[in-house]
Amino acid sequence: MEKEAKNRIIVALDVDSVDKAIALVKELDPHVGYFKIGLELIYTILASLIMAKDEADATEILKKVRELFDLTKERTFIDTKLADIPNTIAGASKAIAKIGVKMFNIHASIGREAVKQAVANKGNSLVLGVTVLTSINEEECISIFGDKPAVKIVKFANMLVEAGADGIICSPQELKILNDFPELKKLVKVIPSVRPEWALKGDQKRVMTPGEAIKFGADYLVIGRPITKPPAEIGSSVDATKKITEEIEKAI
């Protein structure tokens, strides 16, 4: 497990241009461990390539995409939340593995066989299982999955272990529950919905501070807006990152 506090931080590059992503990576590179590239940025890249005005424009965009991945290298978390039949998951996982990313994720709800296909085709990457999205409250979880988040996440976690997944993604609120099951300790715990006390909660429902999440067993913290768009009184993105790192150091 990562010992240095800054290496526990995964910055979410949830921006609408490659230029913005590159700027954030260059600014934060010395201060964090990893960078998350998710659906907004992935589809922004795809749209910009399709809508390029000519070949020269498309070539310039591709150069920037290459620069972004060269900057992050093996420090990338591809956040695509794959959810499909086993054969499709196998093909998508194989393609992602070629990039050489640190980790990528699949929805645990795709079932054991599909998770196994992700694991079989992951290359050197870690496969993480998304359980119940942090924007979903208890009522919605019961409507979607037929049970409360705490119960459903334990079921998902056991299935992920059985299927050979490397880690789990859940809200920090469920960390306490996972600690009650020794067989689940092997899962790397990558935790979104982390908000310092000075940051707005936003659209996340089941939140916790960075220090609390680390104390309850989080291995990595996925943090977006508190770092990329910190409150004015906190200062720059680097200032926000330093404050979060200090909080993690106290908790380790």
- The structural domains of the chain, ordered by start, are 5-251 (3.20.20.70)
Confidence at residue 207, expressed as pLDDT on a 0 to 100 scale: 75
pLDDT (tens digit, 9 = 90+) per residue, 119-150? 999 999 999 999 999 889 899 999 999 999 99
pLDDT in tens, 174-198: 998 999 999 999 999 999 989 998 8
Residue 27 confidence (pLDDT) above 90: yes
Catalytic, out of 81, 176, 229, 242: 81
CA distances in angstroms from 202 to 193, 194, 207, listed in the order given: 9, 11, 10
For the chain, the residue count is 252
Let me know if 53 is a catalytic residue.
no
Q: Identity (one letter) of the amino acid at 201?
A: K
Asked if pLDDT for residue 61 goes beyond 60, the answer is: yes
What per-residue confidence (pLDDT) applies to 202?
A: 60
Q: Is the pLDDT of residue 206 over 70?
A: no
Cβ pair 187, 157 in contact under 8 A? yes
The pLDDT, as a whole number, for residue 200 is 65
Task: Provide the percentage of residues in the chain whose pLDDT is more than 90.
Answer: 88
Mean per-residue pLDDT of the chain:
94
H/E run at residue 157: helix 149-163
Distance of CA 171 to the CA centre of its chain: 12
